[in-house]
Structure 1
Amino acid sequence: MKFVLWGRYCADALTKRTPYREQHLAGLREQYARGVLLTLGPTAGSTHVFGVYEAPSQEEVEALVKGDIYWAQGIWTQVDIYPWTDAIPFPSP
């Protein structure tokens, strides 16, 4: 099942994320390699984050997101996760 993540970054996120960025990206690469993360990134201006996950349950996605260093360090200040049905599917990698 697919899930959409929509969240907010803290003020001055580009500066505050610096010490945690490599750990954050390593975790995302691992999720992508496992096929659970399809895409994730900031909006222009880095005020919001958007992502698409594929996992057996919403709880699994929530655990991944809440386990991210950006959540733990307050870089992401709010995240909402919604079940999602894609009308036009992502192409297969």
Structure 2
Amino acid sequence: MAASGAVPPPPKYWVLRYEYVADILERRGPYREAHLRGAQAKLATGQLVCAGATGTPPDGGLFLFKDISQEDVEAFVTADPYFKNGLITSYKISNYAVAVAVCGCKTDTLFGTKELKTV
């Protein structure tokens, strides 16, 4: 808690959505290890909460970032080997207001920040 007794602001979350090329499974091989290393690096800093592919077969990816600027998420995209090598056809960065969470994530409520407990 801040010295003034004020409740600190809730964490800022961002969702990053990728749309992949149709033949992602055939084309990602040379870039996948570096793509995953980039995600692991953000995970290690605590700025990436989770990430993974969407669809079966994969047609996109989804990343949940926390306590990071939108510009830093944009920089993550432009540094991603999938982006650099044309495997991402489009992406979207959206702010995300957490309403319900587990694992000690903090949620924004009408009355400040509340830590949820798992049962």
One fold, TM greater than 0.5? yes
1:55 and 2:51 equivalent? no
- Structure with bigger helix share is 1
The number of equivalent residue pairs is 93
1:8 and 2:11 equivalent? no
The structure whose RCO (Cα within 8 Å, separation 6+) is larger is: 1
Q: % of aligned pairs identical? A: 34
Structure 1 unaligned regions, length at least 5? none
Give the TM-score normalised by the residue count of structure 1: 0.91
Please state whether the residue corresponding to 2:68 is helix, strand or coil.
coil
2:88 corresponds to: 76
Give the TM-score normalised by the residue count of structure 2: 0.72
Runs of 4+ in 1 over 6 A off after TM superposition: none
What letter corresponds to residue 37 of structure 1 in structure 2? Answer: L
Structure 2 unaligned regions, length at least 5? 1-11, 106-119
1:56–1:21 distance in 2 versus 1, CA, 3 Å: closer
Q: Which has the larger radius of gyration?
A: 2
Residues 4-53 of structure 1 deviation map (CA, whole Å, 9 limit, x = unaligned): 11120012001100001111111111110011111111112211211101
